[in-house]
Structure 1
């Protein structure tokens, strides 16, 4: 079973990060964001499942468990006799993963609870001089903008800002961000992929806003103006801040360049395929554990 641990826990997550580094910026941002988020979640889930399998194996090696269930604990232990530390390390890692994911889940729920906007208009303007704007998911979702941000932008730039935030809601980017956060909580090696997802969802919203307005330059100027104002603000907004949204100069540069030629979305198969490979190895690990326990009876 050790090869399943190596593949799903040690090899696939770092390979997924490498694939994201090489391929994500070649795809359309909306396609790349979905491929990265769901591949990371599947890879993290497969890794966690492998840890659970080896934790079960560690429990099966305990003589008391063998006597209770009618199998030889010595036979179970011999399967990883060359790597006796793996089952017990897996048990410790599984406990850490469960705690990390549970904590991240609670943090996400608390953040969403901070913004009870039921019954509010789709656009909520808050009396706050500090520049700020963000999208609040829901049914329907809301765009929250401070008066400081509204007064800072020209009318076309303000429309670009609204189009950008509405794109986040329409594309369900909050779900992708939550998925990536949970994946990183389950496997820290996926940290860079989760971080890059923040950039990808902002790029996807930029491009959708540019299509809605018919002007990539206006969206770029709105992004730059809002970012500079947020940095120079003498005080912070009283509302929760929006996500940092990636590297602003890089986003502006992409918008000020001509629209790049479409790249076939087939490249998204690479990270997706790596994640599915991990799932297959996890399934084989489950079968191997079942066969081992049958042989130990």
Structure 2
């Protein structure tokens, strides 16, 4: 009789992989072109969150298999004794996994509901704005500018922001906000926030994505106007104007703007963005990309192994004998 190799390593590695990913999130956002960094962070967050949830699910199932009551409810289709004998994970680990998985599922469901609700509210607000042009100018002395997703999306700019910038800087501002809408940056932010809700270890990936989408929009604006220094000046002046005029506290939660994720007292990591614009564009770093891809491939392999091992344990418990 052979032992099922269930979860000796694979399932626990799935729970550990988010740790190096979280550690590497900010360096990845700083050293890779922002478009590539945003895609890697988003895909990585979704894959790692799904894999860690799978690992918790596998551990939870092995705990539930040990209860004879469940075996009776399944018409005796498996043997709790056989499952306990062949499962190397302790009951306490399995029960802890049940609790953590329930908490993660609840947090993810709440975050999903919030994001759907905020995006729907943003789309409704965009549709109700006056006129049919993409640009909407609002009378407000506070300096504000943001892109509001919807069908169609709208760019909202206050008169206070327009007064703070000159005509050439207006072009930069609009190019930045158009990039948010054109590339659907709000979806990248939403997906990484959902992943971070399911696995809090992935929060650095979500926060870095909020930065890289702004850097992506900065680079798009630089390409549109052909002057990186002008974009840097515009970003800096917009931040100073917002601080000086103290923009209003309420801005739609789904909005993205030149100042980053909006908060009246924290306009975002503007100095880092300005510094990046004052240096040459970043190039792809093959080794860094390869390391991230390798981590995601290892995650996929471990997920496959954990699933296969769970299937082997279920087969053993179902038949009451081990495969020869």
Does the pair score TM above 0.5? yes
Cα root mean square deviation, aligned: 2.1
Q: How many residues align?
A: 295
Return the alpha-carbon distance in structure 2 between the equivalents of residues 145 and 160 of structure 1: 13
Task: For 1:31-70, list aligned pairs within 5 A.
Answer: 31-67=36-72, 68=74, 69-70=76-77
User: If the length of structure 2 is used for normalisation, what is the TM-score?
Assistant: 0.84
List alignment gaps of at least 5 residues for structure 2.
Answer: 1-6, 320-324
Give the secondary structure class of the aligned counterpart of 2:314. helix
2:107 counterpart of 1:118: no
Matches within 5 A, 1:1-297: 1-9=7-15, 11-67=16-72, 68=74, 69-81=76-88, 83-115=90-122, 116=124, 117-118=126-127, 120-234=132-246, 236=248, 239-240=251-252, 242=256, 243-244=261-262, 246-257=268-279, 259-260=280-281, 262-264=283-285, 267-296=288-317, 297=319
> Per the alignment, in what secondary structure is the counterpart of residue 9 of structure 2?
helix
What is the distance in 2 between the residues matched to 1:82 and 1:167?
A: 49
Structure 2: distance between partners of 1:235 and 1:251: 20
| In 2, Cα distance between equivalents of 1:234 and 1:28 | 32
Post-superposition CA distance 1:106-158 (Å, at most 9, x none) = 11122223332227421111222221111122343221112221222111111
Task: Please give the alpha-carbon distance, in whole angstroms, between the structure 1 residues aligned to 2:71 and 2:250.
Answer: 59
Secondary structure of the residue aligned to 1:130 is coil
Secondary structure of 2:152's match? coil
8 Å CA contact retained: 2:32, 2:282: no
Structure 1, gaps ≥5 residues long: none
CA distance in 2, matches of 1:165, 1:235: 18
Q: Secondary structure at the match of 2:17?
A: helix
C-alpha distance in 1, partners of 2:21/2:95?
A: 26
Q: State the secondary structure of the residue aligned to 2:189.
A: helix
